[in-house]
Amino acid sequence: MTTIGHFINGETCLEAHRTQQVFNPSTGTSENEVAIASKQTVEQAIAAAEAAFPAWRNTPVLKRARVMFKFKELLEKNADKICELIGSEHGKIVHDAAGELQRGIENVEYACGAPEFLKGEYSKNVGPNIDSWSEMQPLGVVAGITPFNFPVMVPLWMFPMAIVCGNTFVLKPSERDPSSTLFIAQLLKEAGLPDGVLNVVNGDKEAVDTLLYDPRVQAISFVGSTPIAEYIYTTATSQGKRCQALGGAKNHAIIMPDADIDNVVSSLLGAAFGSSGERCMALSVAVAVGDEIADQVIEKLKNEIQKLKFGHFSDKSNDFGAVITAQHKAKVIGYIDSAEQQGATIVVDGRQAAPEGYENGFYVGPTLIDQVRPDMVSYKEEIFGPVLQILRVNTMQEAMDLIDQHEYGNGTCIYTRDGEAARYFSDHIQVGMVGINIPLPVPVASHSFGGWKRSLFGDLHAYGPDGARFYTRRKTITQRWPSANIREGAQFSMPTLN
Dihedral of the alpha carbons of 363, 366, 368, 373, in degrees to the nearest 10: 50
280 in active site = yes
Closest CA to 133 of 146, 152, 120: 120
CA 116 from chain center: how many Å? 25
Rounded distance, CA 194 to CA 10, Å? 8
User: 462, 449 in Cβ contact below 8 A?
Assistant: yes
User: 206, 17 in Cβ contact below 8 A?
Assistant: no
Residue 165's φ and ψ, nearest 5 degrees, are -80, -5
Catalytic one of 112, 165, 243, 280 = 280
- Which residues neighbour 357 within 8 Å (Cβ) at sequence distance 6 or greater? 312
Rounded distance, CA 412 to CA 252, Å? 5
Q: Coil, helix or strand for 10?
A: coil
Dihedral of the alpha carbons of 363, 365, 369, 374, in degrees to the nearest 10: 30
Strands (E), 261-309: 283-289
Rounded distance, CA 200 to CA 211, Å? 12
Specify which residues 350 forms β-bridges with: none
Rounded distance, CA 369 to CA 390, Å? 6
Catalytic residues: 280
